[in-house]
Amino acid sequence: MRMFIHDFRLNLGLKRVFIDHPVSSQILALLRPRRLRLPLVALEEFLGGPAPAITFHYLAPPPINTPPDDLVPICTIAAAINAQRILEVGCHLGSGAVNLAVACPCARVITYDIDPAAGGLIVKAPPQVRERIELRIASFAADAARLRAGPAFDFIFIDANHTGPAVRADTELALTRLAPGGVIAWHDYRHRGDEWVYGTNLVPEVLNELGTRLPLRHLGGTTVAVYRKPVR
């Protein structure tokens, strides 16, 4: 069956222009009507109270970075739990790391990316923000020993390689480095048929599986999934 699905994805001969068409995407989404299985939760419900006001430095334009509809609630959660140590997996331009540092003015941010050119926005941030961000050009999973030797994190944002094995490996390591009461947020938990056909985003499949063991939630109005570790 796995090989059939693989061949279906790669050998149908459908052109990308057809699959990427909005109507085609909706039709393809019907092939996986139960793809999004995590329970929906409103931001205030997840926080257990009103969301705090936060400040942003700047936002990189989508689609090359996390869009405001997702980044605002992500940073709001980090600020609401008063995160002091923040970890980001998948830096890209650095908009996430910068805005997390701005929203949490006392936090230290460690961000990972394998691209040597990552973090272009970090170097442009004000010194008081930039000095609290550490960019590590390294594989997150391969850096496990250094991470385990350090303190745990209050907030972790995962937005790196979206293949199934990568999401699973990043998540498993992140769970071991999450402090009690801390939150993990995953980007791109969403329902698009073309991503399933191409096999480019298996975040939903991995998190649906994890959601059978842990209380993961889909944050309403976003493509973000969240989990808060019990204090005890």
Phi, psi of 214 (to 5 degrees): -130, 150
pTM of the predicted model as reported, rounded to 2 decimal places = 0.86
Do strands 225-228 and 178-186 pair parallel, antiparallel, or not at all (unpaired)?
antiparallel
Tokens standing for 31? 């092939």
The radius of gyration of the chain from alpha carbons, rounded to an integer in Å, stands at: 18
pLDDT, one tens digit for every residue, the chain (232 residues): 555 454 444 454 444 555 555 566 556 555 555 788 999 999 999 999 999 999 877 666 666 678 888 999 999 999 999 999 999 999 999 999 999 999 999 999 999 999 999 999 999 999 999 999 999 999 999 999 999 999 999 999 999 999 999 999 999 999 999 999 999 999 999 866 667 666 789 999 999 999 999 999 999 999 999 999 999 8
Q: What is the CATH number of the domain that holds 91?
A: 3.40.50.150
Range of the domain at 119: 2-228
Q: How far apart are CA 45 and CA 184, in angstroms?
A: 16
Q: How far apart are CA 101 and CA 106, in angstroms?
A: 8
Quote the pLDDT of residue 26.
58
DSSP structure class, residue 88:
E
Phi, psi of 143 (to 5 degrees): -95, 20
Quote the pLDDT of residue 200.
81
Please choose, from the candidates 92, 100, 87, the residue with its C-alpha nearest in 3D space to the C-alpha of residue 63.
92
Dihedral sign (CA 18, 20, 23, 24):
positive
Number of H helices, E strands in the chain: 11, 8
| Number of structural domains found in the chain | 1
Quote the pLDDT of residue 223.
94
With a CB cutoff of 8 Å and minimum separation 6, the contacts of 139 are 112, 114
